[in-house]
Structure formats: C-alpha cells, structure tokens
Structure 1
Amino acid sequence: MTFLVIIIILALVFDYINGFHDSANSIATIVSTKVLTPFQAVLWAAVFNFAAFFISKYLIGEFKIGNTIAKSVHENFITLEVIFAGLIAAIGWNLLTWWFGIPSSSSHTLLGGFMGAAMAHAGGIAKGGVSVINYAKVIPTFLFIFLAPVIGMLIAYIITVIILNICRKAVPYKAEKWFRRLQLVSSALFSLGHGGNDAQKVMGIIGAAVIFYEVQNGNPGYTTLDSAHRFSHFVEDYWWVPVSSFTAIALGTLSGGWKIVKTMGTRITKVTPLEGVSAETAGAATLYLAEAAGIPVSTTHTITGAIIGVGATKRLSAVRWGVTINLLWAWILTIPVSALFAALVYYLLKLVF
C-alpha cells in the first residue's frame, strides 16, 4: 500500500511539472502580444485547466484519454515497479527539457516511460518485450505525433486567411483592439483543451497502478470485471483522483514555465493578436477532436503547428525553420529516450530491491 501511495504522489508531481512545463502552450501568444501580464496569463490558464474537469465528466461523460493511457500496456506486464520507473523517467525528461527551454511533449514522455519500463520487465526487446505494447491504443498516439501539428497548422492557416479576408477593410487600430479581447476567449478555449487532455494522462497512470493493486489483492469489484470496464469502475471508486489530477495541473500552470514561453511566443514567429486568436483557436479545435477520439496528443506539438500555420500566411520565411527543426528532433527523441531511461531505472530498482 505504501508503494502505491508513493506512486500516486509521484504521478501528481509529474502532473504539476506537466502544468508548468506546458503552461507556455496556453499563454505564450497572449503574453507575447501583451494582452495579459505573465501572472494574469497563468492565472487565466490555470482556472480553465481545472474547469476542463467539469467538461470531461459532465459534458463528454467519460475520461477517454485516461483510459487510453491506462491500457497502452497490456495488463499482464503492469506492476507497481513498472509504473514507478516510468514516472521517474518522465519526470526526469520533463525537467531536463524545461531547463533547456525545449517544448517537448509531456504526454509522449509519460507514454515512453511507461512502455520502456514494461518492456524491461518483460525481458527487453530481445525476449519479445515489444509484445507488452497494446498497439490498438498506441499506434493512433504515435501517428498524432505528426498529425496533431499538421492539423493545427492547417486549421490555423485557414482561420487566419478567412479572418484576413473578412477584416481587410477594417480600421487596423479597432481591429487589433477587438482581437486583443478575443484572445482572452481563444486562450481560455485552448486552456480547456490542455487541461482535458493532459490531466487525464496522469489519471491513466494512477488508474493502471490502482487497478493492478486491487486485482492483486483480490478486490471483487475489479476481479469480476473484464479489463474493458475496470478503468470506468476505478474513476467512480476513486473519484478524488480526477479532481486531484486537474487540480495539480492547474497549480503547475500557475507556476509558469517562462523559458518555454519565450520559445513558443517569440522564437518560432512573431505573433500579433489576430494571429494569436487563430493559433489558439486552431490548437483548441485539434485538442477537442483528439479528446473526442480518446487519443492523447501533445498540446506542445499542437500549438507549435498552429503557430507555424499562422506564420506561413505571411510568408514561409516568417517562420524560423531552424528553431522548428530543433523542436521536431526533440519530439522524435522524446519517446525512445524516455523509454530507455525508464528501462534503466527499472533495472536499477530490481537490483536494489
């Protein structure tokens, strides 16, 4: 029981780190356009991060993304040691990328760590460790590493072109005033998507740990259910886990991640209030689409793609492609590096205990 409590605490710590690591996704454009001060922006984003709980629970009616994460590894290969090692790796990679101001994906860090530790538990790739992966859940997530930024980029491009055509005869000063106000709305929409997507990933990890613990201890509420329904039962039985997960990510967002704000808000392309509205709206639309499908996507990838789409409406050279390519390499390396780190942590854990 003590080990389970430690894992839950670690998962919430990761959730908090995820919040301040990814806060830039929600507030970078609204800060760079000076619509809100940095503190006002993180407070605004944190409120809507938590509000996403009510949308997921009462409007959507279920936590699909949490279920996907919990089942990304087959139950036979899940142990508390596996989850612990995955979390340690995910926290380590998140802190490292935050330190260097690299907007990597917290969701893919968590997924990579979980799978890497499970593969180590199964004996490694040489002994068929790849069989631990539930490909029906994982393949869509892998595909959206590339699809999410492309979808965000296309939607942002289309929205920006439409707005520019509608407002081509507008008085620039008045138009900018309106778009500064609208940025509050678009930022709120994106923060809702961020909270709904990322908080559920931690729910999924905690759910996997709790379900393993309950099954191992013969709790009939779990042993009599097939694996497809255990996560739903967990959410009802441990109602405080969703509340804690959404609270932790909101508190993390409130702490801010200023190094990544600089990268997202100024280094990819210079963003105006109009373009901020387009990027955030496009990012929010992509996140809502992914949540409806139960696919855990990266809010970082999504908003980066949207910002690129906005920059491309001016001219392709407006996008700083050197920065963008560096980000792409970070995205590609996140899952394998996290998996290797988690496998190492797992082996060390087994040596000690």
Structure 2
Amino acid sequence: MEHITLLLAIVIVTALVFDFTNGFHDTANAMATTISTGAMKPKTAVAMSAVLNLVGAFLSVEVAKTISSGLVDESGITPEVIFAALVGAILWNLLTWLVGLPSSSSHALMGGLIGATVASVGFGGVNGGVVVTKVLIPAVAAPLVAGLAAMLAARLTYKLGRKTDQKATAKGYRAGQIASAGLVSLAHGTNDAQKTMGIITLALVAGNVLAPGSNPPMWVIVSAGVAIALGTYLGGWRIIRTMGKGLTDLQPQQGFAAQTSAASVILASSNLGFSLSTTHSCSGAVMGAGLGRKGGVVRWSTATRMFVAWGLTLPAAGLVAAGSEFVTKQGDWGVAAVAVFLVASCVAIWFISRRQVVDHTNVNDTDTPAEEPAGVVTTAIAAVTPPPAGDIKTTIHAAAEPEPARTATV
C-alpha cells in the first residue's frame, strides 16, 4: 500500500465537492412536491432529507461497484483523469442549478468520466456494454416507468377517494407525502452517494492504494454520506421551484403517487447496480402524476427544455472533462491551472446566483424568476457544446419559468 499523494488527496476532496453539489442539486427530487403542496415546511423538509440521505449511503455498495470497476477500464485510469472528470461534472451541476434546471448529476459524472477517459486512452478505455445496459437504458426506461406508475397510482387514489371528505383525504395524503418523501431521500442516498464512493474508490485503485475490484473503504462511505447530506441540507431551492411549480400543479394525492413511484424505481435500480438518474425518475413521476388527475396538466414546453438539458448533460460534461484532461496531461502546472479554473468558475457562479436569491422563504413563489439572466450561463454552455436545433438561449433562459397550463389535459 502506498501513501495517498497530494494529487490523490486533491482528487478525493474534489470528489467530495461533487458529492456536495449532488446533494443540493438533487434535493428537489425528494422534497419538491412535499414543499409545493405544503405537506412540510421547506427547512424541515430538507433537514429530514439530509438525515435520510446519510442513512441511505450505508445500505448498499452495488452502484459504487458499477462506477469503480465497470464503467471504464481501471488499468488506463490515472488520478488526473478522475480529477478532469469531476471538473466537468461539478461545472455542469452548478450551471444547471444556477438556471433552475433539473438535470442528472449522475449523468454529469458519467459523462465527465467517459470524456476524460477517451481523452486519455481513447474509446477502448470505456466499457461500452456497461454504459448501454447500466447507464443509457435506465436513463430512458426510468422516467417512463416511474411516470406510468405515478399516473396510474394518482388515478387510483382519486378513484378510491371520490366518495370521501376531500379535506380529510388531502390531509391524509400530506402525511403520506412525508413518508414517501423520506423514502425517496433514503433511495437517493443508496444510489447517488454511492457514485462518489465509486469514483473515490476508482481514484484509490488508480493511485495503487487499493487493489482492483475492491469495495469502498468505510472512511469513503462515511465521507461520501456526510458530504451529500450537507449538500442536501442547504437545499437546491432553484431546482425545487422548477420541480414543484414549473412542470405541473400538484395536489397532495398526486405528490404522494409521484414520490412513491419514484422511490420504488430508484430502490429497485440500486439493488440491481444500475447507475440510475434520480432526477429522471422523479421528474418522470411528477409528470405522470400531473396527468393522473382529471383535468391535470403538464407544461410540455418546460418539460421539453428539461429534456434538452438531459440530452446535453453527457456530452457537455464529457467535453469539459476532455479539455481538462488535455491540460492536466501537461504536468503539475496543468493540474494547478485546472484547479484554479474550477475554483474561479464556482465562485463566479455563486456571485451570479446572489443577484436573485431563491431560498426557503420564496421557493413556492411563481412571480419571481428562479434563474439569473441566461446570457452568462448559455455563453459558458455554448463554449463546450454544439447548440441544438432550436435557440439554446431561449431554451435555458425559460427552463424554470412556469407557463400557462394549456398544453395537455386529461
């Protein structure tokens, strides 16, 4: 066993920073519907979610194994590659948080790791079969399955409760929402916290500290669990607003159906070792629940912008990571330059976010935009990704703004 080097220590700290951003970026997955329907107060909701994310981190390591020994060829991976991958993932997480877009932290990490690996050793370093079966297929299937389950569950709840007192029924489902939100938080800990465990384990293998195929050490499990819990407690208020108010208008029955369906899909995928996007699952469930009520709606224009962000996540994070890997290859000065670039970018994004603060006091407001002027963000995204067929500035700028509910009625 060799000692942990300075570079490896930097990689581990950067991985925990990613885990932290994952926590506040994905808080909306568990708590957006609970907060938007008034089932829990915002600060109480994120505190509960943080505790359960920490607990969930200790329940399984199957997803961590997929990341650490399945996605890429360990023999061609160096700490520099992992560092570059994390840079791409962190920056995409922060950019999408700034504009209030629910995008996948998981896919940002996958895209970063794939892009950095390809830049380092070529396409042969990526296990294409694992990418398809345990990343891409779940990415498509999860929102569809969760959405269908949530729609059927919502319709069933309304059918069963049509002859009961509506106020009493709503109160009961608010209590159910609290329980189901807790289940989603627990499921998020079992899936997303493990991704950081896997990436740190991969770094330790690359640095010859652990043998290939090793399980995450206990200190890795604890640190990853704590980092994601702290991030969750801060609350990703911008994305919570989009998930809770921007996609559809939810009643307590629908919120309960959405969260229960999403939690079931996430827990099942964790058991199978699928690196599932909790964002995709929860967003699909919210849309399905929106259509599950008679007269319910989904704002498809907002949903479409979210889908565009999903499609950009893998390539955008991958391209940033590939560029970062090219620079880190130049030696110690290259690693230092990328580190300075990452810190400067994080600070800049934070200062931009302070111009229009979204927090627990206004998260349910719909008259205050959840994002900053889009020009700064879209310029950064455009620098690393080819624009889609439409206008990317319009796409990103309007992502979190609720639109008139006129597009789909059931």
SS at match of 1:231: coil
CA spacing shift, 1:144–1:316, aligned 2, 3 Å: farther
* Equivalences for residues 124-273 of structure 1 within 5 A: 129-140=122-133, 141-214=135-208, 222=211, 227=212, 230-232=213-215, 235=216, 238-273=217-252
Report Cα offsets for 1:207-235 as digits up to 9, x if no partner: 100012126xxx7xx2xxxx4xx222xx2
Report Cα offsets for 1:19-58 as digits up to 9, x if no partner: 00111111100110111111011001111111113432xx
Give ranges in structure 1 of 5+ residues lacking alignment: 57-62, 123-128
Structure 1 segments (4+ residues) deviating >4 Å: none
SS at match of 1:318: coil
Aligned length: 326
CA spacing shift, 1:180–1:52, aligned 2, 3 Å: same
Residue in structure 2 matched with residue 3 of structure 1 by the alignment: 7
* Cα-Cα RMSD: 1.3
Shift of 1:314: 2.9
Could you tell me which amino acid in structure 2 is paired with residue 3 of structure 1? L
Correspondence for 2:65 among 51, 64, 67: 67
Correspondence for 2:302 among 323, 334, 345: 323
Q: Partners in 2 of 1:272 and 1:18 — Cα distance?
A: 27
The structure whose residues are more often helix, as a share, is 1
Greater RCO between the two (CA within 8 Å, min separation 6)? 1
Residue in structure 1 matched with residue 76 of structure 2 by the alignment: 77
* Equivalences for residues 47-58 of structure 1 within 5 A: 47-56=51-60
* Equivalences for residues 254-293 of structure 1 within 5 A: 254-293=233-272
SS at match of 1:55: coil
Shift of 1:135: 2.1
Shift of 1:66: 0.6
Give ranges in structure 2 of 5+ residues lacking alignment: 335-410
Confirm or deny: 8 A CA contact 2:153 2:292 kept in the other structure.
no
Instruction: Please give the TM-score of this superposition, normalised by the length of structure 1.
Output: 0.90
Residue in structure 2 matched with residue 86 of structure 1 by the alignment: 85
Shift of 1:294: 0.3
Q: Partners in 2 of 1:316 and 1:175 — Cα distance?
A: 19
Q: Partners in 1 of 2:83 and 2:295 — Cα distance?
A: 44
CA spacing shift, 1:321–1:185, aligned 2, 3 Å: same
Q: Partners in 2 of 1:28 and 1:2 — Cα distance?
A: 39
Q: Partners in 2 of 1:87 and 1:173 — Cα distance?
A: 48
Q: Partners in 2 of 1:315 and 1:33 — Cα distance?
A: 18
Identity %: 41
Residue in structure 2 matched with residue 60 of structure 1 by the alignment: none
Shift of 1:317: 6.8
Could you tell me which amino acid in structure 2 is paired with residue 343 of structure 1? A
Shift of 1:164: 1.7
* Equivalences for residues 103-118 of structure 1 within 5 A: 103-118=102-117
